[in-house]
Every structure is written in C-alpha cells, then in structure tokens.
C-alpha cells in the first residue's frame, strides 16, 4: 500500500475510533452540555495548537467574544489585535476575520470554485484532527463549488482527482454549514500583487454546523481556513 494511502487510511480509522468512543451511553443532552462546556473553556484557555513535533501551528490565545451588533458596527470586521470573535446566535458559530481578502465578495447569483486550505482542531480531544495545509495536499487541495442565491450560500466539495482532505477523510461532498458563514463578509480573489492577501478566517464550529462525523458524535471543532478563487 502506498505511503500516502496509509496516511488517509489512518485518518479514517481515527475518525471511526472517535465515533466508537462517543457512543458510550451518554444522552444527546449530556453530549451537548459537554460540547458547550468545552467551547466555553476553549474561549479562555489561551490555546496554542501544536503539531506532532510540538511546533505551534496556530496560536489561538484568549478569545474576546463580541456581539453581532458590535461586529456590524465595526464594518463587519473583528479586531485581531484584541483577538475578537463574533458569535452568531442562530448557529452558535464563532468567527474571526483575520484578513477580509482581495477581490470581491461573491455576489447574489454568482458561483465560484474556491480553494480552501485548513487546519481542523477537535476541541473535545484537544488535538489536530485533520489538515490540508500539509505538503501532501498541495497538489490536491479542497475545492469548494460555492453559490450565492439571494444571500444564501450553498457549497459542495469537488471530488476531482479524488478530492481534498475533507472529502477523502469524511467522505461527504456537503460543505459544513459553519464553513459558509464567512462568505457574507469576505472577498474571494487571487493574489495578483505582492501586497494582495487572500481571505483568512478562524472559526469555532459546534457539531450542529459541522461535518457529518461532528454532527453524529457531537463535538466542536476549531478551524483556521484560507480561501482563494481557483484559477480558471
């Protein structure tokens, strides 16, 4: 078996093991309480996400939660110097816009193929669960086919060339609804000049807005994601 196939297979086994561990007789209400407590603790823990070698991948820090009203009053931006995250009450998703991005927002009636590179951190397990910013996925990134219909965003993962990390690990084409929250606020383009910077966001996504494994096993994830328009 090819070495890279071993990597993907190991990731699938990890997810399966997590599913078995979560079916330990807890009620759904108990699982949701555990999730809420884990998110609450995560907000104030000054978390540094480390890789297997102990190097820092993302320094999350102590999170300062702001309301949607304050977020809108700040031109729909979060103050990164204060480590602000806006909480969207209807979904429970927390979002920090690190960079709004270059180009334009996805307009109503418009569709784009968008490259996403991400780090996924399982908040309950306190460890990196998957990532597509690793060298192995540079030639097969996650490609989102995103559409805006009167302000409602829908998206699916492309399965071209076997798909990216999210499809290969979780075997779903549906993009988690939590990943779609930023598209109302960020710009989607490509880095054409030296001072252009593609969109970068950080998200805390509860199970209800996550991928199928998170929904089934009731765990929240933290994501750092880069979005850029795919070259035609």
Residue with tokens 């509860």: 206
**Beta strands 221-229 and 111-122: pairing type?**
antiparallel
Per-residue pLDDT reduced to its tens digit, 67-115: 999 999 999 999 999 999 999 999 999 999 999 999 999 999 999 999 9
**Predicted confidence (pLDDT) per residue in 103-146, tens digit:** 999 999 999 999 999 999 999 999 999 999 877 777 788 999 99
Contact 208, 186 (CB under 8 A): no
Range of the domain at 64: 3-229
Q: How far is CA 37 from CA 32, 57, 63, in A?
A: 9, 24, 15
Q: Which two tokens stand for residue 31?
A: 């699982």
pLDDT on residue 24: 62
Report DSSP state, residue 176: P
**Contact 126/39 with Cβ under 8 angstroms?**
no
Question: How many domains in the chain?
Answer: 1
- Domain containing residue 128: CATH number: 3.10.50.40
pLDDT at position 22 over 90: no
């Amino acid at each position: 078996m090819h070495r890279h196939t071993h990597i993907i297979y190991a990731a699938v086994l990890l997810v399966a093991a997590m599913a078995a561990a979560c079916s330990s007789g807890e009620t759904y209400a108990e699982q949701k309480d555990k999730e809420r407590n884990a998110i609450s603790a995560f907000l104030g823990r000054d978390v540094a996400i480390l890789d297997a070698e102990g190097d820092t991948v993302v320094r999350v820090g102590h999170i300062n939660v702001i309301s949607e009203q304050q977020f809108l009053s700040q031109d729909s931006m979060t103050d990164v110097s204060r480590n602000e995250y806006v909480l969207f009450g209807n979904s429970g998703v927390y979002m920090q816009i690190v960079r709004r991005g270059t180009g334009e927002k996805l307009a109503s009636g418009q569709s784009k193929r968008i490259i996403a590179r991400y780090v996924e951190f399982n908040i309950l397990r306190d460890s990196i669960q998957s990532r597509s910013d690793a060298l192995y996925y540079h030639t097969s990134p996650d490609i989102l086919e995103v559409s805006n219909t009167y302000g409602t965003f829908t998206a699916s993962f492309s399965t071209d060339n076997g798909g990216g990390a999210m499809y290969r690990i979780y075997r779903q084409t549906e993009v988690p609804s939590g990943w779609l929250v930023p598209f109302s606020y960020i710009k989607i383009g490509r880095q054409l000049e030296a001072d252009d910077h593609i969109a970068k966001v950080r998200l805390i996504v509860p199970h209800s807005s996550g991928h199928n494994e998170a929904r089934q096993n009731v765990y929240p994830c933290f994501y750092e994601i880069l979005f850029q328009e795919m070259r035609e």
